[in-house]
Structure 1
Amino acid sequence: MSSFPSVFPSLAPSPKPSVMPSLIPTSKHSSLPSLNPTFRPTISSSFSPSAKLSDLPSRIPTSKPTSSPIHELQTTSRNKFSRSGAMFDVKSLDSSVTIVSMDILLDVSKSDIGGNGVEVEVWTRDGGSYKSYEQDAAAWTWRNDKKPYIISSDTFENVSGANLVSIERTSFDPIFIPARQTMGFYVTLRLNNGMVVGGSETVDEDNYLRITTGTSNKYRFQAGVNTQRSWNGALKYVLS
């Protein structure tokens, strides 16, 4: 018997595959499933990657999520009236969106508000349009845990006339709107006036969102609703 293994195949091969490592391994991986698979998956890259994406979660996910780009729909500035607040409808088109920030056109001076800043309330009507609910507070949801947003009085230092001011994303309560749904918005100051609204029927839209004409309102659902009033500002949003 030879003391060295033969490099030629056996004339009488064994009926079962060996679990011992081959002395002369093949240069390519077999396409057949293993008869003795490992207990743990390998973390090395595949020599034959699959043609389709897996629906299983990644074993080595990224450490940081990918942020969605922020879109902005700004209304055409229409400076005609100064009121406490405005109602209007927002409709998502073919994609669901999440409002993450808001700009409002205000005509407020620092002398009007003192050092406490401007308090802004944001309400939504999740069931649809604002129409027919202008004085029905029970039909609305007060956002931000029923607290007003505070715009610092420093924002109005040395300014005059109408200016866009922001409720920043870091403090804004996100508002989700499902695809092809309409949501009523009510944005109001805790002042007798200061929010600039237009006086005509308008529609502002982009590829994902539409803002339509509404009303101007006295503070907190009081009587005194003026129709055909257009809110001035900008909605910043991400696709959801």
Structure 2
Amino acid sequence: MARSYVEEARRRGLGRRRERLAPIVARLAEAHGDAEIALRFSGDLELLVAVMLSAQTTDVNVNRVTERLFRKYRSPQDYLAVPQEELEQDLFQTGFYRQKAKSIRGAMRVLLEEFDGRVPRTIPELLRLPGVARKTANVVAAELGHAQGIVVDTHVRRISQRLGLTRSDDPVKIERDLAKIVPRAEWARFPHLLIWHGRRVCDARAPRCEVCVLADLCPACRVPAPAAGARGGHAGEARRSARRGAAR
């Protein structure tokens, strides 16, 4: 069970979660103005496949595989036209390739049988696709412009815990906690901001609190809060750090 910083936030007098949310979003948006999904895709079907392949591997690795995959497979029928073993080999570098190939072929069948070959927009419909769990459904729906929840990956979980926005370690409960305080209009952008902040600054093992734009709002911060006038410099450092680092 991850440590809860909710009580620490109260002890430090940082304010309620809902009160801190607006400045958190504003500062992260300034520091990570380029925050967006790192997967490369063109069209709804490619988005669905890329997100399904991203489980247990990096976005960089998925993009490397899909660069050639999407030239070969352009429709649901294409994924079903080849033997299972051939698709497995095409997905080999993503890891768990047998299960991923099975899930993708199953999803393609359901798309053709129930959705006229089109990727659905709602969470309940997306969850009907084999291999699509809540997180995948949330990502796809949000990227298609129909966010119905908040994506909770390892970065979102870690940072929302460190910021004292949730007590839970369960992704489903974390999503519920965040949905109570994050305005619906921010549901699609908010996880991207946390994800990029996690990749660039708030590392799991060695968070760079000294350059974090949220230092004075974070109950997990390991360094003294910066002076108000220093925040702009920290934002600039976060952006410079982002350009130096590759997306993981």
TM-score for the superposition, normalised by structure 2: 0.21
Bigger helix share: 2
- Higher RCO by CA contacts (8 Å cutoff, separation 6 or greater): 1
Whichever of the two has the greater Rg, that structure is 1
